[in-house]
């Protein structure tokens, strides 16, 4: 499956726009990507290891409002993370 | 150009009449010294917020069960618009807006101790609070840090650009914790190690902006109001703020159009009022269009929030509305400069005040530039060309909506 990153997240994956991983859940897929790009974890996850609410997750191009770490994934899936953060 | 030309629905009319009847006197009092305060860079006096609290203005958007009036976001932005129209002190409306947004966010903590100790006094106008989020860092490398010490915590760092910091007895401070997550806590002005420094901004000079130094400030556990994912909490707060910062400037832009018309009607050139020249009328038309465009966009965004349809962390329509409103009110001023010429520049210092005040709006609750980038990034995903079997799909197989 493919993880896609854009915007400020690109910096956290060394501007590697897509990351190919083998995984059966979203959490496993992220763990692989985080092992490759350690800064990603701090941005994507909160102090309890859960996905921050501020990220939008698209699975195969559709907003997956209820997606979580245990969401099952298939090898043909594409997951995109979108982050809109503004200052005060 | 009187109020008849502005589009006013019955609900909008009601909101404005309510403000005039209940707070007209207060707003006239705030307005009276606005020019002198702006010139001197003096904060709007705290007594006006005390009166705003005592008369229910600060509680308007809060739910009824907490002593508020349960005003929906549309009525609230209309109220702020009327305040901007009647009162030339930008700082007053700006502080009013941020205090109510913080009160709403604290209310959502659901903690009774926080509601009683902070939310209720804020809405009654007996407690000033300011947001301490911005600092010279990005959201993931905050240098303001909360560390454990004994049974409690200590907070160290520096925050910039606190609207209403001059008036605040309490600060909602966002900081990084030892797990590299963001947290939020309440710091009292009289806590040891708290140093508040006044700033001298370009505009909105009456808003009492400050910086905040935190030097090993002890923080009890019960002062931490967000212990996990404070980043999302802050983004939700800023999303709400984006809506509230827009109301008053639209009211001021309306008043500016009317002020410009009055001046152009009374200025005679070539034997006729300047307002009779076609190029001047064209300019006034553009000013009118700009104000109505801003109003339409803001009301639409507020309606979306009122109907529960908005994304609470970063709503594209709310963000687009903030962007449009700021651009349009600045455009109104630019047009006024073109047609009023020397009078704008030399004749009435209020135009200069507006130039500086409206420039400040570019930076509040996300710069215009950053909003564009965020919206553009969202567009690349949300508005991607439809493909294959997803062509007419509106509902995600995982429950989300496209």
- Tell me how far apart the alpha carbons of residues B127 and B123 are, in angstroms, rounded to a whole number: 8
State how far Cα B11 lies from the chain centre. Answer: 22
Using DSSP's 3-state secondary structure scheme, residue A18 falls into: strand
Q: Of A5-14, B324-333, B367-376, give the range with the top mean pLDDT.
A: B324-333
Q: What is the pLDDT of residue B120?
A: 95
pLDDT band at B383 (very low <50, low <70, confident <90, very high): confident
Average pLDDT, chain B: 93
Contact B381 A58 (CB under 8 A): yes
Q: What is the pLDDT of residue A62?
A: 83
Rounded to 10 degrees, what is the CA torsion of B130, B135, B139, B144? -80
pLDDT band at B399 (very low <50, low <70, confident <90, very high): very low
Q: What is the pLDDT of residue A71?
A: 92
Q: Where are the beta strands (DSSP E) in B303-351?
A: none
Question: Does the structure show a pLDDT above 90 at A79?
Answer: yes
What's the CA angle centered on B81, arms B76 and B87, to 5 degrees? Answer: 120
Average pLDDT, chain A: 91
Which residues are registered as beta bridge partners of B73? none
Question: Does the structure show a pLDDT above 90 at B36?
Answer: yes
Q: Which residues of chain A does B370 touch, with a Cβ-Cβ cutoff of 8 Å?
A: 86-87
Which of B171, B398, B401 should be substituted to probe chain A, the one whose Cβ sees the most A Cβ atoms within 10 Å?
Answer: B398
Q: Which residues of chain B does A43 touch, with a Cβ-Cβ cutoff of 8 Å?
A: 140
Q: What is the pLDDT of residue B398?
A: 43
Question: Does the structure show a pLDDT above 60 at B330?
Answer: yes
Q: Which residues of chain A does B368 touch, with a Cβ-Cβ cutoff of 8 Å?
A: none
Predicted-complex ipTM score: 0.91
pLDDT band at B378 (very low <50, low <70, confident <90, very high): confident
Contact B133 A88 (CB under 8 A): yes
Read off the tokens for A38: 């350690």
DSSP string of B194-262, one letter each residue: EEEEE---SS-GGG--EEEEEEEEEE-GGGEEE-S-HHHHHHHHHHHHHHHHHHHHHHHHHHHHHHHHH
Q: Which of A37-41, B18-22, B377-381 has the lowest mean pLDDT?
A: B377-381
Read off the tokens for B162: 């606190």
In chain B, the percentage of residues whose pLDDT exceeds 90 is 86
Using DSSP's 3-state secondary structure scheme, residue A87 falls into: coil
Residue B399 CB neighbour total at 10 angstroms: 11
Selection from A47, A50, A13 nearest residue A32 by Cα: A13
Interstrand relation of B145-149 and A78-83 (parallel, antiparallel or unpaired): unpaired
**How confident is the model over B213-238, as a mean pLDDT?**
97
pLDDT single digits (tens) B56-106: 999 999 998 788 999 999 999 999 999 999 999 999 999 999 999 999 999
Q: What is the pLDDT of residue B402?
A: 32
Q: Which of A43-47, B168-172, B281-285 has the lowest mean pLDDT?
A: A43-47
Selection from B360, B367, B362, B365 nearest residue B38 by Cα: B360
Maximal CA-CA distance, chain A: 40
Interface of A with B in 6-65 (CB under 8 A): 6-7, 42-43, 46-48, 50, 52-54, 56, 58-65
Phi–psi pair at A25, nearest 5 degrees:
-135, 165
Question: Does the structure show a pLDDT above 60 at B390?
Answer: no
């Amino acid at each position: 499956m493919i993880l896609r990153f854009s915007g400020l997240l690109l910096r956290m994956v060394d501007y590697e726009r897509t990351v190919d991983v083998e995984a059966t859940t979203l959490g496993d897929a992220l763990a692989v990507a985080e092992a490759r790009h350690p800064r990603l974890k701090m941005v994507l996850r909160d102090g309890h290891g859960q996905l921050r609410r501020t990220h939008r997750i698209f699975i195969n191009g559709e907003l997956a409002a209820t997606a979580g770490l245990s969401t099952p994934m298939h090898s043909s899936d594409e997951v995109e993370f979108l982050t809109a953060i503004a200052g005060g | 150009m009187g109020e008849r030309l502005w589009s006013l629905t019955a609900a909008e009319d009601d909101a404005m009449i309510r403000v005039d009847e209940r707070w007209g006197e207060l707003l006239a009092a705030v307005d009276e010294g606005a020019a002198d305060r702006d010139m001197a860079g003096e904060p709007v006096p705290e007594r006006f917020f005390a009166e705003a609290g005592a008369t229910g203005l600060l509680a308007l958007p809060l739910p009824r069960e907490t002593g508020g009036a349960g005003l929906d976001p549309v009525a609230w932005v209309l109220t702020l618009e009327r305040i901007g129209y009647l009162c030339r002190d930008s700082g007053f409306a700006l502080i009013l807006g941020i205090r109510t947004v913080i009160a709403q966010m604290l209310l959502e903590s659901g903690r009774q101790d926080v509601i009683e100790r902070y939310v209720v006094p804020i809405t009654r106008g007996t407690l000033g609070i300011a947001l301490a989020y911005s600092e010279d860092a990005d959201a993931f490398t905050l240098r303001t840090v909360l560390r454990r010490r004994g049974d409690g915590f200590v907070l160290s760092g520096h925050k910039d650009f606190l609207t209403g910091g001059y008036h605040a007895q309490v600060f909602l401070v966002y900081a990084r914790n030892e797990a590299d997550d963001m947290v939020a806590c309440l710091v009292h002005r009289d806590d040891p190690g708290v140093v508040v420094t006044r700033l001298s901004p370009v505009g909105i000079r009456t808003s009492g902006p400050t910086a905040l130094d935190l030097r090993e400030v002890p923080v009890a556990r019960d002062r931490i109001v967000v212990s996990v994912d404070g980043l999302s909490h802050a983004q939700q707060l800023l999303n709400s703020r984006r809506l509230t910062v827009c109301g008053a400037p639209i009211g001021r832009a309306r008043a500016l159009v009317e002020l410009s018309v009055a001046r152009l009607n009374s200025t005679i050139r070539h034997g006729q009022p300047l307002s009779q020249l076609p190029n001047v009328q064209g300019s006034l038309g553009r000013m009118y269009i700009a104000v109505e465009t801003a109003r339409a966009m803001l009301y639409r965004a507020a309606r979306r929030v009122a109907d529960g349809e908005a994304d609470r962390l970063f709503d594209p329509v709310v963000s687009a509305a903030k962007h449009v409103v700021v651009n349009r009110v600045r455009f109104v001023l630019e047009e006024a400069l073109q047609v009023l010429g020397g009078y704008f520049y030399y004749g009435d210092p209020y135009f200069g005040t507006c130039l500086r005040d409206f420039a400040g709006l570019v930076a509040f609750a996300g710069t215009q530039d950053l909003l564009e980038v965020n919206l553009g990034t969202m567009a690349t995903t949300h508005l991607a060309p439809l493909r294959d079997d997803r062509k007419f799909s509106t509902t995600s197989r995982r429950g989300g909506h496209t």
